[in-house]
Amino acid sequence: MENITISLFESGKDDISEVRVDGVIDTTTSGELESVIDSLLKRQRYGIIIDLAGVDYISSAGWGIFISRIKEVRSNNGDIKLANMVPNVFEIYELLEFDKVLRAYNSVDDARRDFHASAET
Amino acid sequence: MFNRPIKEINAEFLAEDKYLDSIQRTVEESCVAAGMKRSDIASVLVAIEEGASNIIRHAYLYEKGTIRLRIVIYKKMIVFSLIDFGRSFQPDEVDSLDLDRLVESGRKGGLGLYMIRKIMDSVEMISAAGRNELRMTKRIHPRSTDSVPLLARMSSLRVKFSFWTFLIVLVIVGGSYYYIDRQTSKRLYQHLDDTVLSLANTIAEQAGGYIINRRSDAEFDELIVSYLHSNAEFMRLVVLTDSNDNIIAHSEDIRYIRNKYQIPVHIDTTLIGKPQRFTYKNEHLRYVIVPIKAGDATVGKVHVAYSTASIKGQFTQARKKTAALTAVLILFGILGIYLLSNYFVSPIEKITRRVRRFASGDVSSELPLEGAEEFFEISRAFNELTARVSQDRENIVAREKMAKEIEVASQIQKTLMPHRLPDIPGLDVEAFYQAASVVSGDLYDIFQIDETHYCLTVADVSGKGVPASLVMSMLRTVVQIQSQQTKSSRDTLIRVYDYLQSNIPAGMFITIMLAIYDTSEHHLNFVSAGHNPMIYFHANKGEIVKLNPAGMPMGLPDSFSGSFESRLEEMDLTLHRGDFFLMFTDGITEARNRDGEQYGIDRLIAFMEKRLHYSANLTATGLSEQLIAELGDFSPLSGPADDITFILARVVDDTT
């Protein structure tokens, strides 16, 4: 079976959490990512950047994690921002119109800047 | 459908998450073969995984089941069907899916179906008679990267070829045209010059006669005017002069007579009988001088100026003919080019088309062996390549089939071995089982028959794979059932034999050792159907013996086995504290070391003797660990060639 590696970087400075995922997010591996995100939400850390540079496949189980929690996160003035999607994943993200619901960035820094910008306004 | 299907692929998978990969691989191969775009394939794979995992989760609720995959490839689309026999979906829920509602609900359910709808061009769900089909259609947008430019390159080969050959033909034909044109013009000018020269000579001859006969001026004038008139189309001027260049006759005006003839500039009077260029009254003319002779003496000259304009008409006509001929030649040239380009390019195109089909997965059809030697060679080399690839593919299919069978067999086998050994009062029992490959032919079982009786068996089924596993499973069940009927191991095995004999596939046989242990009397009653002997350590005597009750393997043809019952002997042992007995399969005795030597029963006995003599308090677990280590040392690298299975028991208590 495919493997997944999840690394979590939490910054004390700006309350933004960066989740770096490597591998494939499908039915068998999504549980691990889901529990990482839920642990963030439980601690009321609502600024989340998902770094998808190392992910070449996301199934509905993976997308479902973001789609099902985005409402809760936004209602707490947070966001789930996706960064560094590879072309295969990005094409599906657009095809499925997830771009209407989730924001995508070319880099983690872009996503972070956007968090800071919206915090100032 | 508006097209005939090009290819249909059918496959069946167990409905488990771990087979999702295989399903996707099958789908991916088909999409590649159908010539689908990379990015489309990636999204189709997502949709297929959704469909398949929905079946596993919702249709079968993780229970056992199968997923059938049917892929039908048409020219412009590909239809994927996922078929299951579990619970059916509610189609009306599916129609109302939209992303906002999914986000609003904060649930994940339905996202998979939303994704399938988005990715596929049409989705149908057909449920009838316990069979659910999720039918998804995707249009094929061909890969733009490799197919089109290849075609462009091909046609440009034809274009290039045609262009260059056309250029060559044009140069040749144009050159010929130019040459013929020049020749024609030369011939026409020459002809005119000759005509004028002979006319001038005739005039000179007549004029010579006139001079001798001293004809009148009027007669001279008449002479030249008559010539001028009869050749008016090209003759412009005729002048007769005497030896002192005084005019005798002038075609322009009679009054010039007896005046000095002004020889036009650029005209060289020494050039006799040679045409010279001459411009007169703004007309480009030719000018020729011939002498008038009286006997041998030159008495005057004839000057004739003539126009070449009349040639132009003839020339144009001749040119028209040449042009027509040229045009016909070029036309033939083009036809030739077309035929030639076909001759050279179409075999290449044919080969290229075939190579493209090959690239997209068709490895079966062959190229016709035709065309020039080189094309013939290419075609043959390519056919050999496709044959090899198709052979490889068949091998892969066969290997996958075998892998699947092994998978199924090992699944069956997992259910065979006891999960937990029962605690047998007074006995310390250890069982070991190690398969040489995923599928083994060995079996052991230890179970309780009643309060005081336990059954211990070790068996070896010849053959491997699914059939052997099924026989083992049958054997285990039959032993468990038949042992309930009697406390005798011999009776039990005879009953097992009666049941199994007719159910064992031909060519497969079973050796088994079956022991029944009576806890109340510490009594071991056992039989062996052609199995390896039991090794028994008698603690009080301190000796080790092989106990091998007679018996024939099960599954031998009837002529042999008619005597199964009569040949089957049972043995009885009364056990005492400290005694050991070992039941095993031939994997132990037939284990080989690096020199190819077998471990053998003598080594086994010697090993046990040594261990049991030197350590009095050895447990079954301790001894079996040492035995395993011993076998590992004996054949260190190879691993077991056969399955290793044994039951080792130590008597711990005989005080009842």
Tell me how far apart the alpha carbons of residues B16 and B24 are, in angstroms, rounded to a whole number.
13
Using the 3D structure, point to which of B286, B313, B340 is the last residue of a domain: B313
| B112 contacts A28? CB cut-off 8 A | no
Q: Considering its fold, how many domains does chain B have in total?
A: 4
Helix, strand counts (H, E) of chain A: 4, 5
| B111 contacts A71? CB cut-off 8 A | no
Residue B111, chain A, CB below 8 Å: the answer is yes
What pLDDT score does B372 carry? 67
Shared domain for B379 and B479, answered yes or no, is no
DSSP helix/strand/coil, A108: helix
Among chain A residues, the shortest Cα distance to B104 is held by A71
Tell me how far apart the alpha carbons of residues A37 and A69 are, in angstroms, rounded to a whole number.
9
Shared domain for B424 and B553, answered yes or no, is yes
**Residue B599, CA atoms < 13 Å, CB-side half-sphere:** 26
β-bridge pairing B644-651 and B427-434? antiparallel
Shared domain for B399 and B530, answered yes or no, is no
Check which CATH number belongs to the domain holding B129 and give it.
3.30.565.10
Tell me B9's DSSP state. Answer: E
State the residue range of the domain holding B461: 415-651
**The one-letter amino acid at B170:** L
Using the 3D structure, point to which of B405, B430, B461 is the last residue of a domain: B405
| A91 contacts B20? CB cut-off 8 A | no
- Provide, as residue numbers in chain A, all residues whose Cβ is less than 8 Å from the Cβ of B53: 26-27, 59-61
Among chain B residues, the shortest Cα distance to A63 is held by B111
Shared domain for B263 and B388, answered yes or no, is no
Q: Which of B247, B275, B277, B278 is nearest to B262 (CA)?
A: B247
Tell me B450's DSSP state. Answer: S
Handedness of CA B250, B253, B254, B257 (dihedral sign): negative
Shared domain for B482 and B425, answered yes or no, is yes
Question: CA of A38 to nearest chain B CA: how many angstroms apart?
Answer: 13
β-bridge pairing A103-105 and A79-83? parallel
Using the 3D structure, point to which of B313, B344, B375 is the last residue of a domain: B313
- Provide, as residue numbers in chain B, all residues whose Cβ is less than 8 Å from the Cβ of A67: 99, 102-103, 108, 111
On whether residue B422 sits in a domain, the answer given is yes
Mutate to test the interface with A, among B39, B41, B97, B103 (most CBs of A within 10 A): B103
Q: Which of B276, B195, B254 is nearest to B263 (CA)?
A: B276
Shared domain for B484 and B628, answered yes or no, is yes
**What are φ and ψ of residue A80, in 5° steps?**
-110, 115
What pLDDT score does B263 carry? 84
- Provide, as residue numbers in chain A, all residues whose Cβ is less than 8 Å from the Cβ of B50: 59-60
Tell me how far apart the alpha carbons of residues B203 and B300 are, in angstroms, rounded to a whole number.
12
Shared domain for B79 and B168, answered yes or no, is no
What pLDDT score does B146 carry? 47
Sequence-ordered list of residues with C-beta below 8 angstroms from that of A8, at least 6 positions apart, any chain: A17, A18, A19, A20, A36, A40
Q: Which of A92, A86, A80, A78 is nearest to A106 (CA)?
A: A86
Tell me how far apart the alpha carbons of residues B500 and B561 are, in angstroms, rounded to a whole number.
12
| A70 contacts B43? CB cut-off 8 A | no
Shared domain for B396 and B429, answered yes or no, is no
Handedness of CA B413, B419, B422, B423 (dihedral sign): positive
Shared domain for B107 and B195, answered yes or no, is no
Check which CATH number belongs to the domain holding B207 and give it.
3.30.450.20
Q: Which of B401, B484, B472, B413 is nearest to B447 (CA)?
A: B484
On whether residue B639 sits in a domain, the answer given is yes
Give the mean pLDDT per block of 10 residues along chain B (656 residues): 73 87 89 85 89 86 87 89 83 60 73 86 85 90 57 67 88 91 90 92 90 87 89 89 89 85 85 87 88 86 89 85 89 88 78 76 68 76 83 83 76 75 89 73 89 93 77 89 90 90 81 93 92 92 90 76 79 91 89 82 90 81 89 71 84 69
Q: Are B241 and B301 in contact (CB under 8 A)?
A: yes
A70-113 residue pLDDT tens: 888 999 989 999 999 998 899 889 888 888 889 999 999 999 98
On whether residue B337 sits in a domain, the answer given is no
Q: Are B409 and B401 in contact (CB under 8 A)?
A: no
**What are φ and ψ of residue B255, in 5° steps?**
-75, -10
On whether residue B656 sits in a domain, the answer given is no
> Which residues, numbered 41 to 80 in chain A, qualify as contacts with chain B under a Cβ-Cβ cut-off of 8 Å?
57-61, 63-65, 67-72
Give Cα B348 distance to the centre of its chain.
18
Strand partners, B599: none
Shared domain for B193 and B116, answered yes or no, is no
Tell me how far apart the alpha carbons of residues B643 and B465 are, in angstroms, rounded to a whole number.
14
A8-120 domain in CATH 3.40.50.850?
no
DSSP helix/strand/coil, B268: coil
Element (H, E) at B242: strand B235-242
On whether residue B358 sits in a domain, the answer given is no
Neighbours of B9 (CB within 10 A): 15
A13-58 residue pLDDT tens: 778 899 999 998 887 888 889 999 999 999 888 999 999 999 988 9
What pLDDT score does B634 carry? 85
Calculate the CA dihedral of residues B123, B129, B130, B131 and round it to 10 degrees.
-40
Q: Which of A116, A108, A109 is nearest to A84 (CA)?
A: A108
On whether residue B258 sits in a domain, the answer given is yes
Q: What is the DSSP string of B312-372?
A: HHHHHHHHHHHHHHHHHHHHHHHHHHHHHHHHHHHHHHHHHHHHHHHHTT--S------SS
Residue A20, chain B, CB below 8 Å: the answer is no
| B20 contacts A68? CB cut-off 8 A | no
Shared domain for B419 and B378, answered yes or no, is no
DSSP helix/strand/coil, B424: coil
Shared domain for B305 and B229, answered yes or no, is yes
